[in-house]
Each structure stands twice: as C-alpha cells, then as structure tokens.
Amino acid sequence: MGAIMAIARRFSRHVRGRGRAAVVARLVTYADLDEAGTSDRQLSVSARLDAELADGRSLVLLDDRGWTSSSGRDIRAHLSPEEVERTARMVVGPDEPPDGSTAEQAASAHWSALAATLARQGVQVEAAELGRLPHAVRLSPRLRDWLLPSP
C-alpha cells in the first residue's frame, strides 16, 4: 500500500471549492455476474470503473461496460478468475482505435474523457496521469462463487 500512496501523492490534485487535496490513488474495476445472461455455456458480466481516492472515496468513471463469453460446453471448465480480471481491465478501456486512428490517439481520447468525468465531480487530474495509475479488479462474491463452485 505504501507504493500506491507514493504514486498517488505524485498525482494529487485539489478538489474545487473545498480547499483540500483529492488524490486519485488508483483505478478499480468492479465486475459482477449478470445472472440473466449467464448459463452453463455462457457467462455475462457487468463492469464498473471507479477512481479510488486516497481519502477512501470512490468516484464512478464508467458504469456501462460488460461482456459475454460463450462456449459449446461448460464455460467454467476453461475460464479462470484471472482471465475474467484481464477481460474486465480490457473492457473498461482504452478501446481499440477506430478506423483512421492510432492506438495512442484512442488511449489519449479515453484518458481525456475519464479526466473530464473526474473534473465534473470536482477532481482535477491530467489525462496521462490516469493511464499510469495502478488498476485493480474486484470480482463480486457471486461472480467468484459462480467461477469456482463448491465441489
């Protein structure tokens, strides 16, 4: 945790009108099981990206992401929590670049949009700084239970 806080201090910004520093410590993606779209052969997951501040607050950056994976057999037989975590990081961006754009341009646009979302919530941070923050993934208990059912 000390390393995260050291990084977070480097990225500290002031909250407008409050006179105190708001430090974005890390990004956290919360992944949850979408039971309506899940079966033995298909997994559907919703994902929310938050900015976690050093003072313990969390600010929602994206709450409209998710994915579905399917298989011709029991999907749990070849799907691990680590793979779900990797996919969760991927679906919250940056996205693949549109035609005529580079990956760098797509990433810049993504981080700029997230910085603007934070600015609307009173936290000033440079877009490029967001891309360098630690990024944790938290699987909900019901998603973890679904992935690793009891014997």
Instruction: Render pLDDT for 1-13 as a digit per residue (tens, 0 to 9).
Output: 454 444 444 444 3
16, pLDDT greater than 80: no
**The model's pTM:** 0.83
Q: What pLDDT is attached to residue 51? A: 98
SS (H, E, C) the chain: CHHHHHHHHHCEEEECCCCCEEEEEEEEEEEEECHHHCECCEEEEEEEEEEEECCCCEEEEEEEEEEEEECCCCHHHHCCHHHHHHHHHHHCCCCCCCCCCCHHHHHHHHHHHHHHHHHHCCECCCHHHHHHCCEEEEECHHHHHHHCCCC
Q: What pLDDT is attached to residue 151? A: 62
Cα separation of 146 and 81, whole Å? 10
For range 121-135, the mean pLDDT: 95
Length of the chain (residues): 151
Instruction: Render pLDDT for 29-73 as a digit per residue (tens, 0 to 9).
Output: 999 999 999 999 999 999 999 999 999 999 999 999 999 999 988
- Least Cα distance to 118 among 108, 107, 109, 130 occurs for 130
Instruction: Render pLDDT for 69-123 as a digit per residue (tens, 0 to 9).
Output: 999 888 998 899 999 999 999 999 999 999 999 999 999 999 999 999 999 999 9
